[in-house]
Amino acid sequence: MDVAATRDWVHGIAAAIDEHTDLLTQLDSAIGDADHGANMHRGFAAVVAALEGREVATVGDLLVTTGMTLISSVGGAAGPLFGSAFRAIGKALPDPNADPKQLLVGLTDGLAAIQRLGAAAPGDKTIVDAYAPALAAFEDELAAGGDLVCATSRAAEAAEKGMRATAPLVARKGRASYLGQRSVGHQDPGATSTALIFRALAEAVAG
Ligand code: ADP
Ligand code: MG
Ligand code: MG
């Protein structure tokens, strides 16, 4: 993955968030405070602005800028969580381009950053429920000899499946956890954004 594809990834996320802002808001209005769409929209608009006209030498530079911008521009849980993830992914990728194995290390560090900050386990109805299966699918596909296009495509499918599987769960972290059993039957907003992020990665890599 080169800098241009990484730029496409981040712009693809911004476009997907733009297209799905209302959905994210609706999901968060059911089990949160109805600001997830606005939070993500503000964050990725700030990222696009921060990257505009900025020369970046490496994939990592671009992703660290993305993460820092999310952290500084988004209040609420998801900004710091996604921001820390992008910053961690970026820190793992110091070369101009990232090969599939390096990206695996980066994505692994990204999930670790989310879990260090938010302490969510799989099944808690959070970002982790889309991210962890996406990462596992990415790793499996590489181990089976798949290329980056296949690995990111499998990851996107797994993220979407994980996102849908959050609906029957009881939330155990974040605002939705205040609802306890009443959180059942609603898809998690942050897991939904995570699926958009992995789908955008697959599309950027496929070109
Ligand atoms: P807030 O809840 O502060 O209003 P957002 O609405 O932007 O922030 O984000 C809510 C999303 O954040 C949830 O749907 C969930 O996926 C995610 N989230 C909340 N707490 C955690 C956590 N501790 N670990 C992982 N993800 C979390
Ligand atoms: Mg919210
Ligand atoms: Mg909020």
Residuewise pLDDT in 10s, the chain (207 residues): 999 999 999 999 999 999 999 999 999 999 999 999 999 999 999 999 999 989 999 999 999 999 999 999 998 899 999 999 999 999 999 999 999 999 999 999 999 999 999 999 999 999 999 999 999 999 999 999 999 999 999 999 999 999 999 999 999 999 999 999 999 999 999 999 999 999 999 999 999
Query: Structural domain of residue 8, as residue ranges?
Result: 3-206
Q: Distance from the CA of 97 to the center of ligand 2, in angstroms?
A: 35
Q: Whose CA is nearest to atom 20 of ligand 1?
A: 174
How many separate domains does the chain show? 1
Q: Which residue among 42, 173, 194 has the greatest number of ligand 1 atoms within 8 angstroms of its CB, and so is best to mutate?
A: 173
Nearest residue (CA) to ligand 1, atom 3: 76
| 95 CB-side CA count, 13 A | 10
Q: How far does the centroid of ligand 1 lie from the alpha carbon of residue 152, in Å?
A: 24
Q: Cα–Cα distance between 128 and 113 in angstroms, integer?
A: 11
Q: How far does the centroid of ligand 3 lie from the alpha carbon of residue 76, in Å?
A: 5
Residue 205's φ and ψ, nearest 5 degrees, are: -70, -40
CATH number of the domain within which 121 lies: 1.25.40.340
Distance 4 CA to ligand 2 centre (A): 32
Query: What tokens appear for 144 in the block?
Result: 């089976």
Instruction: Show the CA angle centred on residue 44, arms to residues 40 and 49, nearest 5°.
Output: 150
- What local confidence, expressed as pLDDT, does residue 75 receive? 85
Region of residue 190 (phi > 0: left; psi between -120 and 50: alpha; otherwise: beta): alpha
Token pair in block for residue 173: 């972290």
Cβ of 188 closer than 6 Å to ligand 1, yes or no, is yes
Taking the centre of ligand 3 as the mean of its atom positions, its distance from the CA of residue 95, in whole angstroms, is 36
The finding on whether 33 has its CB within 6 A of some atom of ligand 1 is: yes
pTM for the predicted model, two decimal places: 0.98
Shortest-distance ligand to the CA of residue 175: 1
Q: Report H helices in the chain.
A: 3-31, 36-51, 59-73, 78-91, 100-118, 128-143, 148-164, 189-206
Helices 78-91 and 59-73 cross at an angle (nearest 10°) of: 160
